[in-house]
């Protein structure tokens, strides 16, 4: 049985002596694995489409244990990202994070679109790296069922003023209620400053239509806090430690 779909390579590992096992994010099947037969040979038409970040129209054969990549029509390999170590390392983190949360069929198309749009903007240098990273992290978490509650303070319901984000709980605390959260917790919860500008940015990313997710701006200070909050929320909610994120931070200093 053959399956035709669009997908991007999130990762590859050796399979046997010459083949590659590809991790693919597809438009209608979510995340799947497929074997690319001898993609390392120079004359292999699958070689380019088997590289990480390659986006192609794929024809897959459903084998007994794995899909097998039968043919691929490469549409974009985001080649220019490979010319900038900061951008390439960020793209690697986006792929690792996506592999970690395992997008399902129900959100496959939107997740793929989100990743492609982020990579496109990253390649073009249209927005700062950390801004794109934060938008991607937050929206991906929402698509994966980890949406934070930023309506107001989880203690008193206050919606005005500045807050603290408690990323482990995914809620906000105002300055008056924060001491109660600190005293009632078994250990002091990690917290991130969360001013109104960042709250509005979170609302935008959570609620916007897919085509408008990136259409907002922040001051440089608010953008830094937005990036810190999105990363902290992502790390605490996934419980993950991502080597590619550590590398990205080491590259960007």
User: What was the pLDDT predicted at 187?
Assistant: 64
Query: Residue 148, exposed/middle/buried by CB under 10 A (0-12, 13-18, 19+)?
Result: buried
Same domain for 138 and 201, yes or no, is yes
Same domain for 26 and 93, yes or no, is no
Residue 231 belongs to what domain range?
83-147+195-252
In this structure, what token pair is assigned to residue 110? 């939107």
Measure CA of the first residue to CA of the last residue in the chain; give whole Å.
Answer: 49
User: Does 91 reside within a domain?
Assistant: yes
Domain ends where: 76, 97, 123? 76
Same domain for 15 and 131, yes or no, is no
User: What was the pLDDT predicted at 203?
Assistant: 97
Query: Residue 99, exposed/middle/buried by CB under 10 A (0-12, 13-18, 19+)?
Result: middle
In this structure, what token pair is assigned to residue 15? 């399979």
In this structure, what token pair is assigned to residue 238? 């996934």
* CATH number of the CATH domain containing 117: 1.20.1440
What sections of 74-219 are H helices per DSSP? 85-101, 108-124, 129-143, 178-184, 196-207
* CATH number of the CATH domain containing 15: 2.40.50.140
Same domain for 140 and 20, yes or no, is no
User: Does 212 reside within a domain?
Assistant: yes
For 196-236, how does the pLDDT look when each residue is reduced to its tens digit (9 = 90+)?
A: 999 999 999 999 999 999 999 999 999 999 999 999 999 99
User: What was the pLDDT predicted at 85?
Assistant: 97
Domain ends where: 61, 76, 91? 76
Helical (H) or strand (E) element with 238: helix 220-238
Strands of the 171-174 sheet, one edge to the other: 171-174, 163-166, 192-194
User: What was the pLDDT predicted at 204?
Assistant: 98
Same domain for 139 and 246, yes or no, is yes
Same domain for 47 and 92, yes or no, is no
User: Does 161 reside within a domain?
Assistant: no
Please count the structural domains in the chain. 2
Using DSSP, state whether 45 is helix, strand or coil. Answer: coil
pLDDT averaged per 10 residues in sequence order, the chain, 253 residues? 92 88 95 83 72 96 87 95 97 97 92 98 96 98 96 95 94 94 75 96 96 96 98 95 96 91
User: What was the pLDDT predicted at 205?
Assistant: 98
Same domain for 122 and 239, yes or no, is yes
User: What was the pLDDT predicted at 17?
Assistant: 79
């Amino acid at each position: 049985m053959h399956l035709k779909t669009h997908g991007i390579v999130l990762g590859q590992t050796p399979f046997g002596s010459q083949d590659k096992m590809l991790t693919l994010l597809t438009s209608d099947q979510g995340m799947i694995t497929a074997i690319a037969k001898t993609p390392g040979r120079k004359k292999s038409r699958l070689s380019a489409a088997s590289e990480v970040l390659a986006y192609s129209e794929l024809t897959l054969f459903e084998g007994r244990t794995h899909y097998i990549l039968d043919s691929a029509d490469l549409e974009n390999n985001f080649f220019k990202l490979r010319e900038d170590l900061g951008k390439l390392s960020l793209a690697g983190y986006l792929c690792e994070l996506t592999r970690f949360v395992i997008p399902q069929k129900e959100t496959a198309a939107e997740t793929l679109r989100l990743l492609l749009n982020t990579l496109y903007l990253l390649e073009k240098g249209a927005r700062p790296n950390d801004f794109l990273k934060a938008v991607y992290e937050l929206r991906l978490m929402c698509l994966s069922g980890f949406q934070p509650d930023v309506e107001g303070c989880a203690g008193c319901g206050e919606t005005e003023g500045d807050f603290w984000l408690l990323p482990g709980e995914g809620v906000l605390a105002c300055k008056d209620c924060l001491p109660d959260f600190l005293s009632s917790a078994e250990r002091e919860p990690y917290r991130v400053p969360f001013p109104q500008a960042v709250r509005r940015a979170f609302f935008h990313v959570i609620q916007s239509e897919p085509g408008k997710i990136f259409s907002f701006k922040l001051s440089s200070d608010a953008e830094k806090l937005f990036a810190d909050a999105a990363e902290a929320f992502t790390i605490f909610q996934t419980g993950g430690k991502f080597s590619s994120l550590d590398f990205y931070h080491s590259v960007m200093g």
